[in-house]
Each structure stands twice: as C-alpha cells, then as structure tokens.
Amino acid sequence: MQQKVSQSTSLVKITRPQPEQVLARTRLLQRLDRARKIIWVVAPPGAGKTTLVADHIGRRKRACLWYQIDEDDADIAAFFHYLGLAVKKAAPRKRRPLPHLTPEYRAGLATFTRRYFQELYSRLKPPFTLVFDNYQEVAADAGLHEVLRDGLDGLPAGGHVVVLSRSTPPPVFARFLASGAMEILDWDALKLTLEEFSSVARLRGQDKLPAEMLQQLYARTQGWAAGLVLMLERTEDSRPQAALDSTPEAIFDYFAGEVFDKSDDKTREVLLQTAFLPMLGIKTVEKLTGQHAAARILSDLSRKSYFTVKHPQAEPVYQYHPLFQEFLRARAKELLTPERLAASQQNAAALLEADGQVEAAADLLQAARDWAMLARLIGRHAQLFVSQGRMQTIEGWLRGVPEDVRARDPWLEYWLGVCRLPFAPTEAREHFARAYERFKSGGDLPGVCLAWGAVIDTFVYEWQDFKPMEPWIARLEELPPDVSALPPPLAEHLTSAIFIALVHGRPAHPDLVSWAERVARIVRESKNLSLRIKVAPHLLQYYAWWSGELPKAELFLNTLRAIAAAPGVPPLVQITWQAMSSAYHWVIAENDACLEAVNRGLETADASARPVISGCSRTAVSASSTDASPETAIARIAPESRRWTTSERVSTPESATIPFWWSQSVQPGPRASRMITARACGRLDSQRSAAIP
C-alpha cells in the first residue's frame, strides 16, 4: 500500500534559503543586477555563493524558482518531478501540473525538455530568476547537463538563470559562453575585500579587533568567508599556520573540530545524531534526539551564521552547509559505536520517510545495510515512483541490495522487472519469471497474479514474436479459477492480461469471447484510466481483425471518444484513441476520416514529444492517401512497420500497439481479408443493423 507522506520538509529542496546576519556586498549585488541571462557562480565551498544569490533575490524582490541539486537528480525523471513541484510552488494559480518524464517521452527527451521549459517560463512573470544550487553534485557523464542546456536555450527576455557550483561549466555549456549569453562569477570576485572582511567581523560582534589583527586574519584566510567565521570563534593561539596553509576543506575540518569540542554535551549530541539528515525539521530532530532544546540549538547555529541555514516554512526547517555536514558525519562515525550509528541511521530513516523524504530515507537504510527495512520502503513507494517515471531511482535502490537478499524477496525481483520493462523487456521477463515462481512457492496469490500479468506485458512491449508466450498461457490453470473473487483492482488487471494473452497467443481459444466481454466492461466502467487505455487497442483489434464485428468496433470507438476528449487526459490517451480511430476507418475504407484521425494524432504526438508515435502517424498519412492503391499503400508502409517493430523500442504497452495498427493493416490475415471483401460487397450496413450495443 502506498504510504501517504508529508512534503513540507522535502520541499526545502525547492525553497530559497534565508541566511541571517548577511552583509550587503554592494559591488557583487550590482554585478548581479548587470549580469547576462545566465551567470555561473564558481568558487570553493564556504565562499558565500548561496548567501550572495539568496540575498540578491531577497533585496531585489524578484520572482524566483530555487532548485537545490543533489545526487537523486541523477535520475532525470526525479529532476523533472521536483522541478514541477517548484513550478507549482512558484505559480500556484496554474492548476495543470507539468508532465512527468514517463517512459514514452524518453526517446524524444530533447524535445520534451524544450517544451517543458517553455511551459515553465510561461508560468513565471518576468523578471524572474531560476537558481540551480550545488551543481557540482551532477556527475561528469550525467544526462542532466544536456537537459539543462536544452532547457536554457529558450530562456525568454526578462528571465535569468544562476548556477552555483564548485566547478566551472561543463563543455556542453560552451556555446552559451561563446555567444555571450553566459558569464562566470569566479572565486577571485567572490573573495571578501578587507573592507567587507571588517564589516563581517563587526556583524559578528567583533567590532573592537585591532586593525593589525584584522589584517592578519584577512591575509591568512585570503578572503574566504567560511574561514573568517571559524577563526573568529577561536583565539589567535589556536590557529597554527600549518592548518591555514591547507585546503579549504582541511581548514574547515580543523576549526570546526575545535568549535565542536567546545560545545556543550546537548549540542554535540544533537549535531551527531542529525548529521545524516539532509533537512532538519524541528519535530523530526526532537523525535530523533530526544532533546527538547533542539529548536534552540538549531536557531542559535543559524543566527550565528554557523553553517546552518534556516528555510522559511510554517515550522522552521534548517539545513547544514555541505562542508559542515561532511564534518559531522565523519565525527559521528568516529565517536559512535557501529551499533549505535546503525540504529541512529535506521531511526532517522523512519522519520525521514514519514516526513516525505523517501530518497534520503532509502540512502540511510542502504548505509545501515538494513535490507529488510529498505525492502518495505520500496514496497510502499515503488508504484508512485514508477507512475512518475522515476524508475532509475527505484532500480538504483534495488541494485544496491545484495543479490542473495534480493533473491529471497520476490517483491524486490518484481519491482526490478517493472523498472526494466520499458527499456529491456526480455531482461524484465526474467525478473518477473523468477518472482512468479517464488510467489507461487510462497502462496502469495496477489504476487502470482501480478507477476503473470507482467510477463504478458513483456511480450506486448517487444511486439515481435508471441510464440514464446505459449508456456505462460498454458499456466492459466495455476491462476485463480474465479477472477471476479479477487479484489477489484487486481481482478481488472488479471482479466486484461488474460485477454491480451489469448488475443495474441490463442485467438481460437473457446473462452476468448467471454474474456472479451469482461474487458469491454472494464473499458466502459473501470476507474483505472491507465488500464482502460492499455487494453482498449487489443479489444479493438479483436473486434476488427479476429471476430469481424466491425459495428461493435465502431460503437466501442464512440465510447472511447468521450474518454479521450475529457479535460486533463494525458496526451498518450488522445494519441492512442486517434490511432485506433484511424485504423478502424482505414479498414472500412473511409480514407478521409482516417486522414483526419491521423493528422490529429500527429499533431498531439509532435506537441508532446513522442517521436515513435509521430513516425507511425506520418507513414500512416502517406499510406492513407486517397489516391493510393492497396499495393502502393503496402509499399509505403511496410518498411516503416518493420522498423517500428525492430529498431524503435517502444516504452509503454499503449504506444506499442500504435505501430501495430499499420503493420497489421498492410498484412491482413484471412479474417481481415473477408471483412474487407464484405465491406466491398456492401454488407457493412446490414452488420451495423444487427449489432448488439
């Protein structure tokens, strides 16, 4: 069962931080005012990048969309998911959500990205600023670089983008630099001047430091903001030159260690136990540490600008600076026993999951090697993540589980198959088959039904040879004899899978007619829109090709028309309906209606970045031309139909059936040939009059 979770803390990822005790760095604020459309801010950690940009947006009162990148954005679908939440937060009056990067969009990722960002820009009132913080978290070979490049191509007038990173722009952004659309604000510019250095010291209550000491501190820190904050916490005697000559990270660890050791026991305990929390909600911290003083401790850290940032929420949420968090995690591993460390991570994971930070919870459970708890977490959230296209995230968790552990849990094997299904159906089938056997031996009836249906889906995804499906059809007797006795969602799922298997594997099966009637009822009445649109093309194929009931096919299409025309229906539903409609009209020689349906489907496919479907539609337009003889149509369509079923990997069972309509239309079997002959003899009207609604 999907667990309902809060998103209050997880939304901190898309919330502009509000640092306290901030010095107005006038020279840099003015430079940001004059900046080009894209500015890349690059400097070492602790240089004040985030503070500067957050302060600039706050002072200028600009509309802002702030996005904090982390390792979870390696899954591009996760990036688009959270970016969609950020847009919803920035423009709450726009009720229609931006689309998720579900598998059918993958083949046209560049087009999807451009149109996604066009819609994003249209929802923000200029002047606006998009900020991508912590960009150094993106791996060198990650696809996110190309995605962001394509998205920034269409940045409109009045829009600005700021990227905060510890590293320079990757090569994919070179054209922005060459064209003058991007400029770099580097470490030399960000370094504190002596005047700024003195002002920061006064802000922190050090207004009586001798000028000579200030100059010495400035020389030693070389304008590094974090170094100044740390050094002001200690006396001159505790700053050996050797530490100051090290890297910023080493200097930070040295001084942070001294400050940590100086803290009282309660503060140290809170810091150690919260080291693994990416976001620090007050209630979560209190439950984890048992310290009611946690709110005061975090507030003090933020107020002193001690590498803890406060995010504005109904209840304050805090976040450690990455350097500080790395330091605290290292200390926790040093000071806590392995058993206590694992227990702390497990407790933190449970609290994170309850607060909606599912990815962070999974990371902690992997670190604690608590595979049983991780398996339960995956079971609660996999379906939602898959529906949002975030299969890569789920697969990453599953791949992290030792193979022998995964082999003992059929649900882990099943979800791994689900993650692989859109991209490698044959591999997915192996996972589903293993899951089926283990479900069966364990007496898990829902698992048996789901795994069997998933195996059938793999053949639909491949859309090539259905003969290897025969052994699975032979196992129908292992399924529940009375499907209607199952819970309704499971019964609908299994009914659809059995019907699809029989249509493509045993079209002469004596029970196929009754299964078709059940599926027709599902298409008419089910609340599961995804399942309805998944099974509908197969039912139309049954009516049009196998049973020859063209009037039923027509009535069926009219029923689906209302579904496809409903507000908010996904583009894939509209495309599938147009594909079915065009195929039906092609079969009954209504070429004008066929062309109209194809053109509408083509327009929707082009607008929604589905290249495979678009390619099918374009060929269909050619084949459906009114001046084309059957031989000409076959000659035009056959090469494309072979390409669709071999080189173009379809990514959903719905889109898999769209190329089918055309490949089957030019290779009609005996039943289809008889229907076409009947149509030519004028028998269609008599069949219509005899149709049973």
Same domain, 156 and 26: yes
Residue 471 binned pLDDT confidence (cut-offs 50, 70, 90): very high
Residue 107 is assigned to a structural domain of this protein? yes
Distance CA 678, CA 146 (A): 54
Cα separation, 142 vs 162, whole angstroms: 20
> Residue type for 531, please?
L
Mean pLDDT confidence for 243-267: 67
Domain edge (last residue) among 262, 295, 314: 262
Place of tokens 């009586």: 208
Evaluate if residue 205 carries a pLDDT over 60. yes
Point out the domain boundary residue: 165, 190, 215. 190
The predicted model scores a pTM of: 0.81
Residue 75 has a pLDDT of 96
Question: Which pLDDT belongs to residue 213?
Answer: 79
Give the C-alpha distances (Å, rounded to integers) separating 202 from 47, 51, 207, 243, 265: 18, 18, 4, 25, 29
455 assigned to some structural domain = no
Q: Which residues contact 654 (CB under 8 A, 6 or more apart)?
A: 104, 533, 534, 537, 572, 573, 576
171 and 24 housed in the same domain: yes
C-alpha span between 165 and 41 (Å, rounded): 6
Task: Please report whether residue 401 resides in a domain.
Answer: no
327-372 pLDDT, tens digit per residue, is: 889 889 989 999 999 999 999 999 999 988 999 999 999 989 999 9
- Pick from 203, 230, 262: which residue ends a domain? 262
Report DSSP letters for 171-231, one per residue.
Answer: GGGHHHHHHTSEEEE-HHHHSPPHHHHHHHHHHTT-TT--HHHHHHHHHHHTT-HHHHHHH
Of 635 and 102, the one with more pLDDT: 102
Same-domain status, 142 and 92: yes
Cα–Cα distance for residue pair 608/233, rounded to 1 Å: 56
Give the DSSP letter string of 153-172.
Answer: TTPPTTEEEEEEESSPPPGG
More confident residue, 144 or 610: 144
As a whole number of angstroms, the distance between CA 424 and CA 427 comes to 5
Q: Who contacts 553 (Cβ-Cβ below 8 Å, separation ≥6)?
A: 540, 543, 544, 584
Cβ proximity of 443 and 437 under 8 Å = no
Bridge pairing between strands 317-320 and 308-311? antiparallel
Instruction: List b or e across 29-39, with b for residues whose CB sees 16 or more CB atoms inside 10 angstroms.
Output: eebbeebebbb
Answer yes or no: do 651 and 672 share one domain: yes
Task: List pLDDT tens digits, range 487-506.
Answer: 999 999 999 999 999 999 99
Q: Does residue 331 sit within a domain?
A: no
Burial class of residue 527, CB neighbours in 10 A (0-12, 13-18, 19+)? exposed
All residues at 6 or more sequence positions from 602 whose CB lies less than 8 Å from its CB, including other chains: 614, 617, 618, 621
Does residue 616 form part of some domain? yes
Q: Are residues 595 and 685 in the same domain?
A: yes
Residue 672 in contact with residue 541, Cβ under 8 Å? Answer: no
Say if residue 687 is in the same domain as residue 542: yes
- Segment 139-159 shows an average pLDDT of 95
What distance lies between CA 438 and its chain's CA centroid?
30
Q: Quick one: 679 exposed, middle or buried, by C-beta within 10 A (0-12, 13-18, 19+)?
A: middle
Going by pLDDT thresholds of 50, 70 and 90, the confidence category of residue 676 is very low
As a whole number of angstroms, the distance between CA 169 and CA 136 comes to 9
Mean pLDDT on 400-415: 94
Q: Provide the CA 177 distance to its chain's centre, in angstroms.
A: 29
DSSP class of 13: G
Q: Is the pLDDT of residue 601 over 90?
A: no
The answer to whether residues 568 and 651 belong to one domain is: yes
pLDDT at 472 over 50: yes
Whether 271 is in a domain gets the answer no
Same domain, 240 and 135: no
CA distance linking residue 346 with residue 53, whole number of Å: 35
| Domain boundaries, position 212 | 195-262
What's the pLDDT score for residue 606?
Answer: 74
Q: What is the pLDDT of residue 547?
A: 86
The rounded distance, in Å, linking the Cα atoms of 182 and 169 is: 10
- Looking at the fold, whether 120 and 171 belong to one and the same domain comes out as yes
Taking each helix axis as running N to C, give the angle between helix 653-665 and helix 630-646, from 0 to 180 degrees, rounded to the nearest 10. Answer: 150
User: What is the CATH classification number for the domain harbouring 119?
Assistant: 3.40.50.300
105 and 245 both lie in a single domain: no
Torsion of CA 546, 548, 553, 555, to 10 degrees: -140
Strands 182-185 and 38-42: parallel
Phi/psi of residue 280, each to 5°? -115, 85
Tokens in use for 601?
């489907």
Q: Which residue has the higher pLDDT, 651 or 237?
A: 651
For residue 405, which of 448, 442, 432, 369 has the smallest C-alpha distance?
Answer: 369
Q: Which of 419, 421, 454 is nearest to 436 (CA)?
A: 454
Give the DSSP letter of residue 70: -
* pLDDT band per the 50, 70, 90 thresholds, residue 67: very high
Averaged pLDDT of the chain: 82
Q: What is the pLDDT of residues 520-573, one digit of tens each?
A: 999 989 999 889 888 988 998 899 878 888 888 888 888 778 778 777 677 777
Residue corresponding to tokens 């969602």: 489
525: in domain: no
Domain count, the chain: 3
**Cα 32 from Cα 58, distance rounded (Å):** 13
In a domain, residue 306? The reply is: no
Question: Do 202 and 182 lie in a common domain?
Answer: no
CA quadruple 144, 150, 153, 155: dihedral, nearest 10: -60
Residues 666 and 680 in one domain: yes
- Cβ atoms 659, 463 nearer than 8 A: yes
Calpha distance 405→171 (Å, rounded): 41
Q: Which residues contact 48 (CB under 8 A, 6 or more apart)?
A: 25, 190, 192, 225, 226
Q: Which two tokens stand for residue 560?
A: 């689906």
